Amino acid sequence: MADSVSLRLTCGEEDLDWLSALAMDPLVEPFLASGRGEPAALRELVPPPASDEKLYGLHLIESARGERLGGLALMPASRISSICEVTRVMVRPDVRRTGVALAAVRLVSRLALLDHGLHRIETQVYSDNLAGQRLFERAGFTREGMRRRAYWRRQRWLDGILYGLLAEEL
């Protein structure tokens, strides 16, 4: 399944509704930043219709047949330093462990670093999200540090594990 994964910038309410429902799924929501899957929060990630932006925003992860498999966001972290950030990586629970998320992270990394010439892509994963940590490590990201007890999630403080990938590492 992972070989036929593609990314498409979210373009309409139907996409937003689907992604919001996925983000609020009890099997997905605990691993996303608190409240960041709500429709208003996701809507903020969609470039305006008149925008010529082809990189930043909320991307749908789709199969070759156009079936929605998940989503992720790619946002600027520092335009001056050519750094972007991948966030809100989520896949349908029924397609976990099929390589979909790995293929999507690799695709968005190539899009940002090779196709658009950015220098660096970053992400952060909750310390108890071991699958998320493995995902970014398998995609070639380097674990660069930790933000100790940075997030109040699921009734406890969690560390944020920081990852980075440089263009020359692809």
CATH of the domain at 153: 3.40.630.30
Find the range with the poorest average confidence among 18-27, 52-61, 78-87, 131-140.
Answer: 52-61
**Quick one: pLDDT at residue 36?**
61
Structure tokens at 136: 């970014």
Its domain, for residue 153, covers: 2-169
What total of structural domains would you count in the chain?
A: 1
End-to-end Cα spacing for the chain: 22
Sign of CA dihedral 127, 84, 108, 67: positive
**pTM for the model:** 0.91
The closest of 132, 131, 135, 106 to 121, measured between CA atoms, is 106
**Quick one: pLDDT at residue 52?**
60
Single-letter amino acid, residue 102: L
> What DSSP state is assigned to residue 54?
S
Kindly tell me the burial class for residue 42, based on how many C-beta atoms sit within 10 Å of its own C-beta (0-12, 13-18, 19 or more).
Answer: buried
The closest of 71, 78, 82, 63 to 11, measured between CA atoms, is 71
- For 7-55, the pLDDT digits (tens) are 998 878 899 999 999 999 999 988 887 666 677 777 777 766 555 678 9
CA 77 – CA 79 distance, rounded (Å) = 7
